[in-house]
Amino acid sequence: MTSSSTKFAIVVFPGSNCEGDCHYVATELLGCRAEYVWHHDTDLKGCDVVILPGGFAYGDYLRAGALARFSPVMESVIRFAMDGGPVLGICNGFQVLLEAGLLPGAVRVNRGLRYICRDVYMRVENASTAFTRLYEPGEVVKMPIGHGEGNYTAPPEALTRLEHESGVVFRYCDAEGNVTDAANPNGATAGIAGIANREGNIVGLMPHPDRCAEGILGNAVGRRMFESAVASLAPA
Amino acid sequence: MRVEVRVYPKEGVLDPQGRAIASALERLGHRSVADVRAGKIFFLDVRGDDPVAVEADARRMAEELLANTVIEGYDIRFPTES
């Protein structure tokens, strides 16, 4: 599959606000095709990659992601993911994946109780998922975060499984790649910023690769997450 | 009838909101407060008057939606008529 034939589905919930950024990366920067898929739709329009973008789906009422999970579109997304299709949840999209049970764990309010909007560093812990295969293992990447609830946790047995099965994809670190408490912006357990399922086709993270995908923004490191998805679809 | 579902952070799960409230209370001079956990109460008016069936329904609602059982516990109460 060439990049121009890869088609991204970008799911739009009421309250999503990063769908345009994702659409722009897919079409303008990668030269792929992309379709917005409204939360009431159940047809993913033959897309090859599904992105759940950031925002405040359903106003984050009850809990972030809690109501979005019951959207009609999520049944199709769950089926697509279970069939091995690449699915990326960014920020609020990650919270939706957690609430839907596609990834383990939950997020709590940031330990400082504040919404945080700034760049963070992360270490790439798993460079073989559908969305990270164009990174180097152990590479340190800088991406922006913008969230009030990103304090990831999971039950002890789920954390053990994540660590043993390379489920941790990104960990907060300092600029040199050291995972320290000071470099952890929100208190997430074990500095976890992003995780994947065992097969590596479902990935979720709190930082925003869609907001650092072009040189003119001073940082294009996030673009490789989208390019990784295209590469993962290429015949071996 | 009226049923209440209380949802709160599980014991042992860090509750940043509860901790912040506890330190605010302490700053206000309430030195007796050892710990605070902050939760939510859902007041549900439901059709039916069989408390056993209503409680079973409320339990399903808590499990499916009202609580995220990864980090939250819940309990179900019937308010006493005044």
Instruction: Give the integer Cα–Cα distance in Å for A120 and A192.
Output: 12
Which residues make beta-bridge pairs with A89?
A: A52, A204
- In CATH, what number is assigned to the domain containing residue A154? 3.40.50.880
Question: Band of the pLDDT at B81, cuts 50, 70, 90?
Answer: low
Q: Report yes or no on B82 lying in a domain.
A: no
Structural domain range at position A48: 3-233
Which pLDDT score is estimated for B82?
A: 52
Which of A60, A61, A62 is the mutation pick for testing B, counting most B CBs within 10 A? A62
Is the torsion defined by CA of B38, B44, B48, B49 positive or negative? positive
B20 in A contact zone (CB under 8 Å): yes
Residue A142 in contact with residue A212, Cβ under 8 Å?
yes
- Please give the tally of structural domains in chain A: 1
Beta-carbon separation of A153 and B13 below 8 A: yes
Which long-range contacts (C-beta less than 8 Å, at least 24 apart) are formed by A174-179?
A: A174/A121, A175/A121, A175/A140, A175/A142, A176/A140, A177/A121, A177/A123, A177/A138, A177/A140, A179/A123
The answer as to whether B23 is a domain residue is yes
A104 CA to centre of own chain: 14
In this prediction, residue A229 carries a pLDDT of 98
Percentage with pLDDT > 70 across chain A: 98
Q: Which contiguous run of DSSP H or E holds residue A168?
A: strand A168-173
User: Rounded CA gap, A226 and B11, in Å?
Assistant: 39
Q: What is the pLDDT of residue B11?
A: 87
DSSP 8-state secondary structure symbol assigned to residue A67? T
> Cβ(B19)–Cβ(B36) under 8 Å?
yes
Interface touch A155/B13, C-beta < 8 Å: no
Which residues are paired to A213 by β-bridges? none
Instruction: Give per-residue pLDDT as tens, B40-80.
Output: 999 999 998 999 999 999 999 999 999 999 999 999 999 98
**Mean pLDDT computed over every residue of chain B:** 93
Q: How confident is residue B13, by pLDDT bands cut at 50, 70 and 90?
A: confident
CA dihedral sign, ordered B39, B45, B49, B50: negative
Tell me if chain A has a CB within 8 Å of the CB of B66: yes
Spell out which residues of chain B touch residue A70, defining contact as CB-CB under 8 Å. 65
Taking 90 as the threshold, does the pLDDT of residue B12 lie above it?
no
The whole-angstrom distance between B2's CA and the closest CA on chain A is 20
Is residue B32 in a domain?
yes
Alpha-carbon Rg for chain A, nearest whole angstrom, is: 16
- The whole-number pLDDT of residue A191 equals 98
Distance CA A222, CA A142 (A): 9
Amino acid of residue B16: P
d(CA A232, CA A101): 23
| Confidence at residue A2, expressed as pLDDT on a 0 to 100 scale | 60
Q: What is the ipTM of this complex?
A: 0.81
pLDDT of residue B37 exceeding 70, the answer is yes
CB contact under 8 A, A109 and B68: no
Tell me if B34 is assigned to some domain. Answer: yes
Is any Cβ of chain A less than 8 angstroms from the Cβ of B71? yes
CATH number where B17 lies:
3.30.1280.10
Q: How much is the pLDDT for A35?
A: 97
* pLDDT score of A3: 65
What is the tally of structural domains in chain B? 1
Its domain, for residue B52, covers: 2-77
Q: Tell me which residue of A127, A44, A123 sits closest to A87, measured CA to CA.
A: A44
Residue B67 counted as domain residue: yes
- pLDDT per residue as tens, chain A (236 positions): 566 789 999 999 999 999 999 999 999 999 999 999 999 999 999 999 999 999 999 999 999 999 999 999 999 999 999 999 999 999 999 999 999 999 999 999 999 889 999 999 999 999 999 999 999 999 999 999 999 999 999 999 999 999 999 999 999 999 999 999 999 999 999 999 999 999 999 999 999 999 999 999 999 999 999 999 999 998 76
Q: Is residue B39 part of a domain?
A: yes
Find the residue in B nearest to A69 (Cα).
Answer: B65
**Identity (one letter) of the amino acid at A211?**
R
* Separation of alpha carbons A188 and A192, rounded Å: 6
